[in-house]
Amino acid sequence: MARQKKSRTLKWLKRHRRDSYVRQARREGYRSRAAYKLAQINQRDHLFSTGDVVLDLGASPGSWSQFAIEKVSPGGRVVAVDVLPMKAVKGVDFVLGDITEPETYCAVDGCLGAIGADLVISDLAPSITGIRHADQVHCIQLAEQARKIALGVLKAHGSFLVKIFEGESAQEFREQTEVLFDRATVRKPAASRSSSSEIYILASRPIRPG
């Protein structure tokens, strides 16, 4: 078991060193290659506008927050949340907490105030166990919680971008999202490794009863 884990880690390190997005992130000052997944989705879907209020769920180490604050400045705001600490990003408000805990929601709500958010982005991912089904289910649970938060804080024209792992419950998550939003589509940016089962659902305009 330990040998298997060591071999997986070595493989990851080898791939990481060769990865062009890792090198690009280092050059451009992003904390992780994940920035380019968001950048590529943004290039296609124009997620951000100057002055927007953005909520970034599962934000640490912070590359999505770095990208988001660049895109909404001047005048915009980014509120970032993670259960792990995050080194400060200039202009970004950080909430340390577990998104499944009510007090984290209260802190986020307090930070956003009555205005709400134009965009909620969620790159939430559980600690990967390597047990594919368990990791997929856990990721969907986090995505469901992110969607609940998004529905609570988004403005009428707002959008929600969320990562899920493909698998059994992914289709169900997508169908539910289609019911809860006016529009929902799947995105797999080039920076997301083809070997990874991660995909992103982009939904816009929450449907509110009444």
Residues contributing to the site for ligand SAM (CB under 6 A): 31-32, 34-35, 58-64, 81-84, 98-100, 123-126, 142
Residues forming a β-bridge with 159: 119, 204
3-state secondary structure 127-155: CCCCCHHHHHHHHHHHHHHHHHHHHHHEE
The least distance separating ligand SAM from the CB of residue 81, rounded to whole angstroms, comes to 6
- Closest-by-Cβ residue to ligand SAM is 58
The one catalytic residue in 5, 148, 163, 188 is: 163
Mapping DSSP to helix (H, G, I), strand (E, B) and coil, where does residue 33 land? Answer: coil
Q: Decide whether 94 or 181 has the Cβ nearer to ligand SAM.
A: 94
Q: Decide whether 60 or 204 has the Cβ nearer to ligand SAM.
A: 60
Q: Decide whether 80 or 154 has the Cβ nearer to ligand SAM.
A: 80
163 annotated active-site: yes
What is the Cα–Cα distance from 11 to 181, expressed in whole angstroms?
Answer: 40
The least distance separating ligand SAM from the CB of residue 3, rounded to whole angstroms, comes to 26
Pairing of strands 154-165, 117-122: parallel
Within a 13 Å sphere around the CA of 110, how many CA atoms are in the beta-carbon half?
9
Comparing CA positions, the residue from 59, 17, 13 lying closest to residue 35 is 59
The least distance separating ligand SAM from the CB of residue 73, rounded to whole angstroms, comes to 18
Q: Decide whether 80 or 184 has the Cβ nearer to ligand SAM.
A: 80
The least distance separating ligand SAM from the CB of residue 200, rounded to whole angstroms, comes to 11
Residues forming a β-bridge with 165: 198
Q: Which residues are catalytic?
A: 163
